[in-house]
């Protein structure tokens, strides 16, 4: 199984960005944890972070030719990007949405996700653990 992990805007700043909201882990450490989990389970993993909406759209399109599942933290684009939603919907690769914080317990503008209706499911509010849960969820898709 091949899994593509996509990180959206400002997630490159994890570790220093509002640690009281997003925790102290860096993106590098999250990716390292995922790589380790994937390796232990014999899964191939590729990761990408981008601050650019277009780059994320292109990455989703390109991954359609090789990825069995996508794990995405769309960050702020969760709440704004019809383009990302359309890309996920267009390619049809099973996609799991992840948020470090519980978006429903935060500001009103974060309560709505444009991505959820085209995702298999959403993991929100469990910090870094959410990525591990998303990986397990992606693996379970293989049995479906
Ligand atoms: C986030 C939540 C979003 O509302 C926010 O814009 C982010 C990170 C999260 O992981 O909690 O950048 O996706």
Measured from the Cα of 22, ligand 1's closest atom is: 11
H helices, E strands: number in the chain: 5, 5
- pLDDT (0 to 100) of residue 111: 98
Structural domain count of the chain: 1
Tokens 């998303």 correspond to 134
Measured from the Cα of 99, ligand 1's closest atom is: 10
Distances 35 to 2, 105, 129 between C-alpha atoms, Å: 12, 30, 14
- pLDDT (0 to 100) of residue 21: 87
**Ligand 1 binding pocket includes 13 (Cβ within 6 Å):** no
Residue nearest to atom 9 of ligand 1 (CA): 99
Share of residues in the chain with pLDDT > 90 (%): 97
Range of the domain at 63: 2-143
pLDDT in tens, 63-72: 999 999 999 9
**Ligand 1 binding pocket includes 51 (Cβ within 6 Å):** no
**Ligand 1 binding pocket includes 49 (Cβ within 6 Å):** no
The CATH number linked to 105 is 3.40.50.9100
pTM over 0.95: yes
**In angstroms, what is the span from residue 21 Cα to ligand 1's centroid?**
9
């Amino acid at each position: 199984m091949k899994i593509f992990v996509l990180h959206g805007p400002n997630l490159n700043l994890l570790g220093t960005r509002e640690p009281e909201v997003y925790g102290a882990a860096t993106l590098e450490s999250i990716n390292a944890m995922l790589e380790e989990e994937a390796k232990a389970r014999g899964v191939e993993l590729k990761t990408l972070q981008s601050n650019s909406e277009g780059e994320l759209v292109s990455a989703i399109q390109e991954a359609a030719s090789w990825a069995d599942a996508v794990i995405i933290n769309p960050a702020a684009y969760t709440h704004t990007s019809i383009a990302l939603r359309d890309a996920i919907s267009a390619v049809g690769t099973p996609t799991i949405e992840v948020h470090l914080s519980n978006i429903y317990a935060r500001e009103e503008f974060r309560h709505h996700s444009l991505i959820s209706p085209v995702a298999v499911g959403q993991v929100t509010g469990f910090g870094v653990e959410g990525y591990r849960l998303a990986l397990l969820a992606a693996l379970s898709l293989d049995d479906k």
